Structure 1
Amino acid sequence: MSTKGFWLGLAVGTIFTCLLGQWVFSAASKETERPRGISPEIVANYIHSVVQADRTFYTSEIVERMQRRGLVFASEHWKEDGDLPLPAQFVLETGRLIAQQPIGIRFRLISSWPINRRNSPTTEFERTALTKILVNTDRPYTAVTTVGGARVFQALYADKAVSQVCADCHNVHIKSPKRDFKAGDVMGGSLLTIPLPQ
């Protein structure tokens, strides 16, 4: 073998080895590369935690305390009567205010036993999610779905009666299709919708 052929073979072999190594390294790094930003699951958990904490505080420290003292009451017709909103209405109003922001996030309550029919499930995801959260009450049911032609991440969290006052309100309401709720029971779900890059 000539010296020229040896160096040519060595050069081709080296280039091939470098290219192969680069390709393997590139492929491996793509598999282990973490996506940039925060996952929609984590964002949903953050938002739900804040809304749930606000609702629990509002229920136990404002509504129940004011009603025990006879100062002011929570009522379904709170705007007309000058009362406090019911805890569910507090959350619905929070969702309405979130929806007014230009970021595309939506938050609402849904139930298989809604007092207000607007809070019934409207999609297959919502119907499926409501059955799943009855079994796994501590984990949200999640999926990437399409709403209005846009790809979104949706998470439904079990909405539990945070106190017996919540359960009693539903149990005695004339429009309630279920009347045997107890504190801690799943009464429906908190639905979070987060837009995804298209």
Structure 2
Amino acid sequence: MSGRGFWFGLVLGAGVMGLLGQWGPAAAGKEVGQAPCIEAGLVAEYLHSVIQADRTFYTTDVVERMQMRGIAFAAENWRETSRLPLPAQYLLETGRLVAAGRSGLQYRLISQWAINNKNRPNSDFERAGLTEILLNPDRPYTAVTTDGRTRLFQAIYADKAASQSCVGCHNAHPNSPKKDFKPHDVMGGILLTIPLSH
């Protein structure tokens, strides 16, 4: 191949690649640069799956395992006593750390039978959601709400008693308004809040 043919092929190839590079994104989306969007309800499902998996692992493979072996124990006053946080506290603390970030994402536990008053429902949506998940615990209660000028997608998932230790702790706690939980009972909900405009 001559030097001239080589340069002609290189320029022609670069031109074709440039056109394909411009055509590909335009064909994939209506606007160039527009990122594909995932439905907020699906994002909530993904997040809930991760939160549940982390909490279940922490409950069964950290707290219960350590306690059975006498290595470490979980306690409500875990900071003062250098013990492990209770599984509910683990979820609340990780939710606090996420909320401190810039994403606007939030999650927390809520219950009409909360031991700690700050975990009681704060809005009509939360009260209605807690009632609804008692009736339909396998389906989240969702809505689009607003906080000032920010639209939010909110979902409440049933929070079930994952182990006997959860049931025992709540039934024996002096501040617990309900003392007859059984394994797998709905004890409250996990509230996820996802900003739709940030």
Shift of 1:147: 2.1
**Share of identical aligned residues, percent?**
62
Once the two structures are superposed, what CA deviation does each residue of 1:127-165 show, in whole Å capped at 9, x if it has no partner?
Answer: 000000001101100000112442100000000010111
Which residue identity does 1:112 align to in structure 2?
Q
SS at structure 2 position matched to 1:85: coil
User: What secondary structure is seen at the aligned counterpart in 2 of 1:84?
Assistant: coil
Please name the residue that 2:71 is paired with: 71
Number of residue equivalences: 165
- The residue number in structure 2 matching 1:125 is 125
Query: How far apart, in 2, do the equivalents of 1:147 and 1:81 lie?
Result: 38
CA distance in 1, matches of 2:100, 2:54: 19
Shift of 1:178: 0.2
Aligned CA distance change for structure 1 residues 78 and 148 (closer, same or farther; 3 Å): farther
TM-score, normalization: structure 2?
0.81
Could you list the runs of 4 or more consecutive aligned residues of structure 1 that deviate by over 3 angstroms after TM superposition?
none
Partner in structure 2 of residue 95 of structure 1: 95
How do residues 1-198 of structure 1 correspond to structure 2 at under 5 angstroms?
A: 36-197=36-197
SS at match of 1:176: coil
Structure 1: gaps spanning 5 or more residues:
1-29
Over residues 141-196 of structure 1, what are the superposed CA-to-partner deviations in whole Å (9 max), with x where a residue is unaligned?
00001124421000000000101111111000010000011110000000000001
Measured after TM superposition, the shift of residue 62 of structure 1 is: 0.7
1:133 maps to a residue whose letter is I
Taking the aligned partners of 1:164 and 1:135, their CA distance within structure 2 comes to 22
Letter in 2 for 1:184: H
Amino acid at match of 2:157: Y
TM-score by length of 1: 0.81
Task: Name the CA distance, whole Å, in 2 between partners of 1:147 and 1:122.
Answer: 13
Cα distance in structure 1, aligned partners of 2:122 and 2:163: 27
Bigger shift: residues 136-145 or 35-44: 35-44
Give, as a single letter, the amino acid of the residue that structure 2 aligns with 1:73: F
Letter in 2 for 1:37: C
- Whole-angstrom CA distance in 2 between matches of 1:92 and 1:55: 10
Q: Which amino acid aligns with 1:114?
A: A
1:88: Cα distance to partner? Answer: 0.1
Q: How many Å separate the matches in 2 of 1:197 and 1:72? A: 43
Structure 2 distance, partners of 1:118, 1:129, is 17
